[in-house]
Structure 1
Amino acid sequence: MAPFRIRQYQERDRKKVLELFSKGMEEHIPATFYHALMLPRTLLLLLGAPLALVLLSGSWLLAILCTFCLLLSLWLLARYPWRNYVDTCLRADMADITKSYLSGRGSCFWVAESGGQVAGIVGALPVKDPPLGRKQLQLFRLSVSLHHRGLGIAKALVRTVLQFARDQGYSEVVLDTTILQYGAVGLYQGMGFQKTGESSNIMMRLLAISIIHFSYPLSSLQGERL
C-alpha cells in the first residue's frame, strides 16, 4: 500500500486540486448517460421515433440518423449537469480556495498527498443557516485520484473532517451527493452517516436523478466511533 499523508491545502496545490476535482466530477457522465438511456421513456423514444420515420418515409438511413441524433442529445444532456456543476464551483468557492476555506477557524481544506502528488481532496464550510440549536459543518469536494483509489484515502479524508468538526465544536457534519455516486453513497453509509432526505432540480428530474442528503451527528454515540 502506497503511503499517504493528509495536510492543509497550500496555494502550490491549486492546479492539481482543480484538475482532480474537475476530472472526478466528469467521471460520472457515462453513468448518468447509461442511467438515462435505461429509462423506459428513453427506450420508447429511441425505438418509436426511428420506427415512425421508417413507416412515414421508408428510409432506414433517416431512421439511423435519427437514432444517432437522439443518442448524441442524450449524451449532451447527461453531460450538462456535471459540467455546469464544475463551472459553478470554479466560479464560487474553488475560485479562491484559500479565501473560501482557510480565512476562518471554522472551515478548512485538506489534500491527501502520496508520492509527492495530490491524491485526494476535501473541504469543509460552516452551514450558514442551520436548523435552530444545531451547529453544522458541511463536507464539500471530496475526490480521490483514479490512480490512488483503494488505499483508504477517501475514508481518511472524511475522518479528518469529522475530527475537525469535533475540535471546532460542531454538533453534526452534513453533505450532499447523488444517487449515481455509488462509491460515495456506500462510503458515507459505511462510516455511519444517516440519510436525511432527497431533493432534485428540473434537470435532475428530467434525468430521474436525485440528491441524497446525509448527516453525521457528532453528539450521539455514533460519533464516538471515530
Structure 2
Amino acid sequence: MSGVKIREYRDGDFSTVREIFSLGTSEHVPASFVHFLKQPQCQMLLMSTFCALLASSKSFLLPVLAVTLLLAIVCQLVVYNFNNYIEKCCSTDLNSISETYMAPRDACFWVAENEGRVVGMVACRPKDGVPDCLELKRLSVLRSHRGRGVAKKLCQAVADFTRERGYAAVVLHTSVVQTDAQKLYVAMGFRKLREFPEGNLAARLTNFSLFEYRLDLHKDHAAK
C-alpha cells in the first residue's frame, strides 16, 4: 500500500494502539455469536425450549419471547467474554508496551502509519516453551485501511525481525472466527500446526477453537 510506513512503537502511540486493539477485537463479537448459533447443542437448546413452552402454554408468543431472551443472554455473554479479554490484555502487556516489547532485545512492537495517522499494529516476543521461535502478537488494522496490504507489511516486519535475530520461525495463535487472518497467514506461507479449545468453559462448550500457525524461516529466504 503506497504511503504506509511501518515503524517502531513510540510512547506517544500508547492510546492509539490500545484503541485499535480494542476495536479490532470487539469486531469478532458478531462472528463469535453466529459461531455459537451454528453449534448443534445450541440449536437443540433453542428448539427444545421453544417446543416445550409451545406444548405447555398453547401460546406461540411465549416460546418466541423465551427464545429471544435466550439469544440476548448468549449475546451478552459473548460480549462479556470479549470485554474481559480486552481488559486483561490492556492491563498486562498493552499496559507496559515499552517495557514488554521495546526494552528486551528479542522483542519489538511496530505500528503502521499513513499520512501521520497510526492505522495498524503488531508485536512479537519470544515464545514461552519454544526457544527457537518468536511469537507474533496483537496484529490489528483499522477497518478503514484493510484490504490494502497493511497487515501483510506488518507481518513481514515480524518475519524480518525474527530472521535478523537468528530465530528459526514465527508462531502465532488465532481463533476459529478470524477467517480473514487465517487467509493472510496461509498466503504468507504459514502452516497450521494444530487446533485446540480455548481455555474457558464457555469456549469449550461452544467449540470455540484456537489455531496455531508457524512460519519457518531460512537465512536465504528473501522478503516477499
Root mean square deviation of aligned Cα: 1.7
The farther-off stretch of 78-87 and 28-37 is: 78-87
Percent identity, aligned pairs only?
38
Deviation string 1:126-155 (CA, Å, 9 cap, x unpaired) is: 12321xxx4210000000000001110000
How many residue pairs get matched?
222
How do residues 103-142 of structure 1 correspond to structure 2 at under 5 angstroms? 103-130=103-130, 134-142=131-139
Letter in 2 for 1:41: Q
**C-alpha distance in 2 between matches for 1:140 and 1:149:** 18
Preserved CA contact (<8 Å) 2:109 2:122 = yes
Task: Describe the SS at the equivalent of 1:82.
Answer: helix
- Which residue is 2:51 aligned to? 51
How do residues 5-154 of structure 1 correspond to structure 2 at under 5 angstroms? 5-130=5-130, 134-154=131-151
Task: Describe the SS at the equivalent of 1:77.
Answer: helix
Per the TM alignment, residue 224 of structure 1 is displaced from its structure 2 partner at its CA by 4.4
Preserved CA contact (<8 Å) 1:78 1:207 = no
Give the alignment's TM-score, normalised by structure 1.
0.92
Per the TM alignment, residue 105 of structure 1 is displaced from its structure 2 partner at its CA by 1.3
- Which residue is 1:190 aligned to? 187
- Which residue is 2:203 aligned to? 204
**C-alpha distance in 1 between matches for 2:223 and 2:155:** 13
Task: Describe the SS at the equivalent of 1:135.
Answer: strand
Per the TM alignment, residue 3 of structure 1 is displaced from its structure 2 partner at its CA by 1.4
Q: Which runs of 4+ in 1 moved over 3 A?
A: 223-226
**C-alpha distance in 1 between matches for 2:138 and 2:121:** 7
**C-alpha distance in 2 between matches for 1:155 and 1:21:** 17
Preserved CA contact (<8 Å) 1:7 1:111 = yes
